[in-house]
Structure 1
Amino acid sequence: MDFIHNSTAKDEDILNLFIQNMTCEVFDFSPINGAVFITIFILSIIGNVLLLCILFICEKHNLFTYIFIINLACSDLIFTASVPFWAVYHLHYWVFGDFLCKFIIWMHFTGLYSSIFLLMAMTVDRFCTVVLNNWPNDNQRKKRYSIGACVVAWLISIGPSVYDASKMELSDDYYCEVYRIDEVGYYFQVALLILIPTVIIILCNCAIIYTILRAAHRTRHKALSIVCCIVVAYIICWGPYNIVLFVQSTNCEEMQRMNIVYSICRMLAFSHCWINPFLFMLTQKIRNHLLYILRYRVARTNSERGSGQAYIQNASESRSSRL
């Protein structure tokens, strides 16, 4: 009897909590999310496309040196391509059908997973160079290792993304939702694809920073500060969001607070896709390339404008002489 009584009381508590959550009013972040997502999309497209243009125009004979940056920019663009769909989803509802519901989820997680694995590969590359000091000096071997690391990062990212996409379906023709929840698989996936790479990135960067601080000549490691900034930006953007996903609310007041925290953390996490290219542009070399391209465009515009004015003036003088 005690067992039945306890079970019934527990069921009543769950039912009361469910009813309370259903009647709990939370702040609607949909308009804010939509506006922020559109802004993130514009900034990310501008930053990543501009970064790729700089590399392909100014470093076209030395692209393999920037192979991690190029792949990271492509990863951010893939993630960015999914952002407008989430903006429309928040401003209205899912109007793109079942296929795009799965495909956009695949793009979203492919961009997310590939960015962290490419960042891990970049960090390990710097760790081998600075800490172990045994990275091969042969450019061909460096090129092969870098390309191989990028290929592995993409393969590891695409597989789980297909699995995530397969769990999505269109519900009531309005909502793109998960219809199969596997908590064990979810926690395993988070640990394998997010937690472990993040720990490796943090440990490698700690070793890099420690080695640099002990070195007599630190100026040659200035470029490494950008890699550290990118790692810090990733942790700041995605860390709070991943933590919030594990937090559960038990009453209406907590649900209201968690809704605010979750919305802010999600907007911060999505912002990561435009932060990377602007951090890379802080390096002296890429910044010089950008200034060179801007000066070239301004000089070309002025030249074309001057040629046009000269043509008009000559045409006017010729017309005057005929009169």
Structure 2
Amino acid sequence: MAEYKDFLDLFSDENDMDYNYTDPIFVVDKLVNLCATADVNRFGAKFTPILYTINFLLSIIGNGLVLCIMYKYEKLTSITNIFLLNLVISDLLFASSLPFWALYHLYGWIFDSIMCKLVGSLYFIGFYSSILFLTLMTFDRYLAVVHAINAPKWRRKIYACVSSAVVWCISLLASVKELVLYNVREDPRDGYLCEETGFSNAIMIKWQLVGYYQQFVIFFLFPLAMVMYCYVRITVRIMSTQMRGKRRAVKLISVIIFTFFVCWTPYNVVILLRALQISTSDDSEPCSEVLNHAVYVTRNIAYLYCCVSPVFYTFVGKKFQSHFWQLLAKRIPCLKRHIMTSQSGNSRITSQKSPHTMYEYEKGTGLQARAQVPVPI
């Protein structure tokens, strides 16, 4: 002890050096509550890889089928197909990241930091652009149906290209945060992790809140409001016409709105609750086991809709259904006679309709002559 006291005397006031050994920067004056996440992590490791694998397979099969039909039977330069092609690309980008996250939940991050940033960015770029392209396709249908006379003036190829470019730019800007913050770090208990890291806790919480509110406002409230408004106006327009089959069109619109709402609302409500919890909590890492479990479940429901949305938006239409059966008949010859019989029966029914009940899309631009209202599905 005497030697230690002599050592401290070397750095006393007589040497004009005042060291404060109780610097408040390094003093912890309150307990830090650590979240017990073992159960949540086990839950995620058990179910998330399975759900991610299912979403990936559905996305590859469904989007691949849509691309195949578009390539064989459709013009890729039409307005509707430009939007649909971009939607398929965004969903494939998103789906391409899912196998990496499935492996991550099983074994930890086994790749380098560059792959961590790349996969994290593709994940959010595809996720954000998918919901925006769904909104854009809904708005395009609104223009074609509600503003049928003036729609051909607006619905040109330049309109589709510029709108798609804007969606991609917004998605890229919204994903810059992940590109900057995502990195690999080593955890003593969980091994190598790929997550937002590298800054102080206060900064990370602020960016986390930015991401949550960005997700809720830009990629949920705005798309939901647009989808509701556009489809309500479309429904009113259809019901005011003498169109045959308008009940079917209204039912399909109801299914689309209902599915959109059911799939997206739970996840975004959980995101909002998490943001409010972080904003109002005194702890640096507020704990809520219920919310943590809810994120795993609701997120996969939203991702499932994101992966199958191109199939959902195309195969409800009779034109794509016809293309699908033609493609299937080439692969399965025994179905060819049945499909030809069914199509000939449909053509006889169509030929019996009066001109006033025919409502069709004109390929690429909009409507047939005399401002007829097209079926929006």
With normalisation by structure 2, the TM-score equals: 0.66
Who is 2:196 aligned against? 178
Q: Deviations over 1:175-226 (max 9, x none)?
A: 1111252256335533234432332222222222233233332537966865
In the alignment, which of 144, 150, 156 is matched to residue 142 of structure 1?
156
**Residue 267 (structure 2) pairs with residue 267 (structure 1):** no
In structure 2, the residue matched to 1:153 is 167
Cα displacement (A) at 1:231: 4.9
Q: Does residue 1:206 correspond to 2:232, yes or no?
A: yes
Amino acid in structure 2 at the alignment position of 1:287:
Q
Partner of 1:246, secondary structure, is helix
Counterpart of 1:245, as a letter, is: I
Pair 1:127 & 2:153 matched: no
User: Match of 2:96?
Assistant: 81
Deviation string 1:127-182 (CA, Å, 9 cap, x unpaired) is: 222223344336x9522212221121112212221233212111216111112522
After the TM superposition, which of the residue ranges 31-40 and 216-225 deviates more from structure 2?
A: 216-225
Q: Provide, for residues 234-281 of structure 1, a one-character-per-residue CA deviation record: whole Å limited to 9, x for no partner.
A: 33223211211232479xxx8333333222112212212332133122
Q: Does 1:258 align with 2:258?
A: no
Cα root mean square deviation, aligned: 3.1
2:138 is equivalent to residue 94 of structure 1: no
Equivalent AA in structure 1 for residue 163 of structure 2:
A
The code of the aligned residue for 1:145 comes to Y
Greater CA radius of gyration, 1 or 2? 2
Measured in 1, the distance between the counterparts of 2:295 and 2:176 equals 25
Q: CA deviation at 1:86?
A: 0.9
Q: Structure 2 CA distance, aligned partners of 1:23 and 1:145?
A: 48
Change (3 A) 1:133 1:283: closer
Deviation at 1:112, TM superposition (A): 1.4
Name the CA distance, whole Å, in 1 between partners of 2:266 and 2:118.
Answer: 26
Q: Secondary structure at the match of 2:242?
A: coil
* 1-structure distance, mates of 2:297, 2:61: 23
Residue 76 of structure 2 contacts residue 82 of structure 2 at CA under 8 Å; is this kept in 1?
no
Aligned residues of 1:128 and 1:134 also touching (Cα < 8 A): no
Structure-2 change in CA distance of 1:220 and 1:146 (3 Å):
farther
The amino acid of 1:236's aligned partner reads V
- Tell me if structure 2 keeps the 8 A contact 1:80–1:273: no
Change (3 A) 1:141 1:37: closer
> Do 2:37 and 2:289's aligned partners in 1 also have CA atoms closer than 8 Å?
no
When the two structures are aligned, how many residues end up with a matched partner?
285
8 Å Cα contact 2:267-2:302 kept in structure 1 = yes
Q: How does 1:52-67 map to 2 (within 5 A)?
A: 52-60=67-75, 63-67=78-82
Amino acid at match of 1:275: V
Alpha-carbon displacement from aligned partner over 1:72-115 (angstroms, at most 9, x marks no partner): 11111111001111100111111111111111111111111111
**Aligned residue type for 1:47:** G
**Whole-angstrom CA distance in 2 between matches of 1:129 and 1:178:** 43
Rounded to whole Å, the distance in 2 between the matches of 1:40 and 1:276 is 12
Cα offsets for 1:10-46 (capped at 9, x unmatched): x75x63xx14x33874452312111121121111100
Q: CA deviation at 1:118?
A: 1.2
- Counterpart of 1:278 in 2: which secondary structure? helix
Counterpart position of 2:311: 278
| Cα gap change, 1:221 to 1:122, in 2 (>3 Å) | farther
Measure, in 2, the Cα distance between the counterparts of 1:150 and 1:231.
22
**Matched residues, percent identical?**
31
> Which residue is 1:243 aligned to?
269
Q: Which consecutive residues of structure 1, in runs of 5 or more, have no partner in the other structure? A: 1-10, 303-323
SS at match of 1:271: helix
Give SS of 2:273's match: coil
Q: Quick one: distance in 2 between partners of 1:78 and 1:174?
A: 24
Deviation at 1:120, TM superposition (A): 1.8
**What is the identity, as a one-letter code, of the residue corresponding to 1:219?**
G
With normalisation by structure 1, the TM-score equals 0.76
- 1:56 and 1:63 in contact (8 A); partners too: no
Contact 2:82 2:160 in 1 (8 A): yes
* Superposed CA offset, 1:269-323 (max 9, x none): 22123321331223211111111111112349x9xxxxxxxxxxxxxxxxxxxxx
Corresponding letter in the other structure for 1:273: C
User: Which amino acid in 1 is paired with 2:91?
Assistant: D
Change (3 A) 1:72 1:44: same
